[in-house]
Amino acid sequence: MDAVKAFLRHPSGMAGFVLLIIVLIVAITAPVLFPVSPWEMSGTPFTPPGEDGMWLGGDTLGRDVAAGVAHGARVSLLIGIASALAAMTIGVMIGAISGYFGGKVDLVLMRVTELFQTVPAFILAILLVATFSPSLLTIILTIGAVSWPPLARLTRAEFLRLRGREFVEAALCQGESTARIVLGHILPNAISPILVVVSLTVATAILLESALSFMGLGDPNLMSWGFMIGAGRTVIRQAWWMSVFPGLAILVTVLAINLFGEGLSDVLNPRVSRRRA
Amino acid sequence: MTGTRSTARIGLLVAAWIVRLVAIILVIATFNFVLVRAAPGDPAMVMAGQSGAADPKILDDLRKEYGLDKPYLVQLGTHLARVLTLDLGYSYRQRRPVLDLILERLPATLLLTLTAFCLALLIGTTLGALAGLVAGSIADTVFTVLSLLLYATPVFWLGLMLVLVFSVTLGWLPPFGYETINAKHTAIERIFDIMKHMIMPVISLAAIYLAIYARLMRSSIIEVSHQDFIKTARAKGLARPRIVVSHMLRNALVPVVTVAGMQAGALVGGAVVIETVFAWPGLGRLTFEAVLQRDYPVLLGIFLILSVIVIALNLVTDLIYRLIDPRMTTEAA
């Protein structure tokens, strides 16, 4: 409860939270606000913003850019959150095993983590999505597969810090199973910094997804912000609005998540945060 | 005495780096091998791509050449041996060896990434240090807001917005390309022409890393300024500029350089998107074309080469790190 109160008094964190709620509302109400599919023609091609009932203008085929931006919010948030959860699952698992068991297991797992941190993640993502053909699921799994290393490192560090503590030793003495100690005792104590990094991972996942769909590797059935910018790129002289608005949408969403995540970090981990401030 | 010892250290560092390089090449080559087999469909068809798959003769040749009828381990062995002799396969789409295609595009990518990397590091650390020294002031707040905004901006969109402002609206800079075609420039004019074409791609690529390094440098400076050795230096009555330059900057740079090394992969990835935006004739454009045509051997080759570039950038940051970390130099002395 104290954490909630502290967060309410955190100005930039609250600003991020409010922005995020707005994006969420747009995402949820998109089908009500824009009942016509963003793939459908709803006016003359290249309608400038504000004309013909299209506040953000129309694209090359007369589709409503505003409808695309609203429906794109669903795609971006869904992919961002789902990929961050996928990255969390992989990262926490690897980090927990590495930090709890230590020794050779730790050495091998950390080498693998380093390898994933070294290779250019975006190229790996392009390669994976191109191999398994772009769909919602492959994109989420791919972004998860290239985004887990920071989470694994953090979890490992937390586990190393906590595994020698008295409460863990007490649990060991009572003969509790390894799974119970890891999941029931250590993980709950390590969870708050992990959650902060997961929230920031949502932001990077959204950026990664937008870059993939900009490069033509988005799910072809989903209207996404990156795809819209990619489509607007070639006609930027005639229709600036086609690339400006979806980009602003990404900027606002990512900014909101980053502000929220950093606010969360200040409130949940003042020990770490004060060093950054 | 110290000279030979630190030379030996550098030698050791480079040797360790070469081992690491070969290990990474082998791991990535193995990964590429597994990926081709994991891809849906016949590996020969995957490698031939959309254009080659229609031709049964190409498929037959491929099966023979890669020994696709032999056991997996034998195939893997041949594959690794090929990669180590720099044979990255053949693009049936472009009808040329992959290595040739990559080498042709590599200089443009290197020019773009290295310029952006150096600029981001130089300007980012300078701005960050200044902001850290005046922490809490209005300038510092403006700086923090700007870096937060940059940090949330998709690189390719930033590039497009620059095109919109500086090419479409103002007409100051060329919107895309590497140089003016058929310009009949002299050598010097040509260099200036390329530089003019580079401005926007470099800025859009450098901006986000500049923001990251600046934010890090800012907090690093603030942290260093609270440490005991700075207090001692103040107590000794050293002048503030001297404290800042010879005590604070060097110590504060250490974490920034570490992160810069870790970010090298992301920077190279960003170059791929930026090159697509600006039709910059480097590996990024090649990636984009290969994605469109599902030219698989080219994608695999690019992944390998770009990873090698990241490792090379890591060596550079490692060397800088040795150079600036005071603990490293006192040890060696």
Give the span between the Cα atoms of B141 and B134, in whole angstroms: 10
Contact status of B311 with chain A (Cβ, < 8 Å): yes
Contact status of A143 with chain B (Cβ, < 8 Å): no
DSSP B226: T
Question: Which pLDDT score is estimated for A275?
Answer: 42
Q: What is the pLDDT of residues A73-125, one digit of tens each?
A: 999 999 999 999 999 999 999 999 999 998 899 999 998 998 888 888 899 99
Q: Which of B219, B303, B310 sits opposite A127 (nearest CB)?
A: B303
Amino acid identity, position B109: T
Contact status of B223 with chain A (Cβ, < 8 Å): yes
Helix (H) or strand (E) holding B96: strand B96-97
Task: Nearest chain A residue to B158 by CA: give it.
Answer: A247
Least confident of A156-170, A263-277, B30-44, B252-266: A263-277
Question: Which pLDDT score is estimated for B4?
Answer: 66
Q: What is the pLDDT of residues A176-211, one digit of tens each?
A: 888 888 888 888 888 888 998 999 999 999 999 999
Give the span between the Cα atoms of B156 and A215, in whole angstroms: 10
What does the block give as tokens for B83? 């990669």
Task: Mutation target for A interface from B157, B158, B176, B218: give the one with most A CBs within 10 A.
Answer: B157
Distance in Å, alpha carbon of A108 to nearest chain B alpha carbon: 14
Contact status of B162 with chain A (Cβ, < 8 Å): no
DSSP A58: B
Alpha carbon B95 to its chain centroid, in Å, reads 28
SS3 (DSSP) at A28 = helix
User: ipTM score of the complex?
Assistant: 0.88
What does the block give as tokens for A140? 């989420």
- Looking up tokens 């789409």, which residue turns up? B93
Q: pTM to 2 decimals?
A: 0.88
SS (H, E, C) chain B: CHHHHHHHHHHHHHHHHHHHHHHHHHHHHHHHHHHHHHCCCCHHHHHHHHHHCCCHHHHHHHHHHCCCCCCHHHHHHHHHHHHHCCCCCEECCCCEEHHHHHHHHHHHHHHHHHHHHHHHHHHHHHHHHHHHHCCCCHHHHHHHHHHHHHHCCCHHHHHHHHHHHHHHHCCCCCCCCCCCCCCCCCHHHHHHHHHHHHHHHHHHHHHHHHHHHHHHHHHHHHHHHCCHHHHHHHHCCCCHHHHHHHHHHHHHHHHHHHHHHHCHHHHHHHHHHHHHHHCCCCHHHHHHHHHHCCCHHHHHHHHHHHHHHHHHHHHHHHHHHHHHCHHHHHHHC
With a cut of 70, say whether residue A164 has pLDDT above it: yes
Question: Which pLDDT score is estimated for A205?
Answer: 95
Contact B157 A229 (CB under 8 A): yes
Q: Tally A–B CB contacts below 8 A.
A: 133
Question: Which pLDDT score is estimated for B50?
Answer: 59
Q: Which of A126, A210, A233 sits opposite B277 (nearest CB)?
A: A233
SS3 (DSSP) at A64 = strand
Give the span between the Cα atoms of A165 and B97, in whole angstroms: 58
Task: Nearest chain B residue to A248 by CA: give it.
Answer: B153
With a cut of 70, say whether residue A274 has pLDDT above it: no
SS3 (DSSP) at B59 = helix
Task: Nearest chain B residue to A146 by CA: give it.
Answer: B266
For chain B, positions 192-221, list CB contacts with chain A under 8 A: 219
Contact B152 A255 (CB under 8 A): yes
Contact B24 A117 (CB under 8 A): no
Strand B96-97 with B90-91, pairing: antiparallel
Contact B273, A233 (CB under 8 A): no
Question: Which pLDDT score is estimated for B103?
Answer: 92
Distance in Å, alpha carbon of B27 to nearest chain A alpha carbon: 9
Alpha carbon A97 to its chain centroid, in Å, reads 24
Give the span between the Cα atoms of A200 and B159, in whole angstroms: 24
Number of alpha carbons in the 13 Å side-chain half-sphere of residue B129: 19
Contact status of A247 with chain B (Cβ, < 8 Å): yes
Question: Which pLDDT score is estimated for A272?
Answer: 54
Positions in chain B whose pLDDT score sits under 50: 1, 329-333
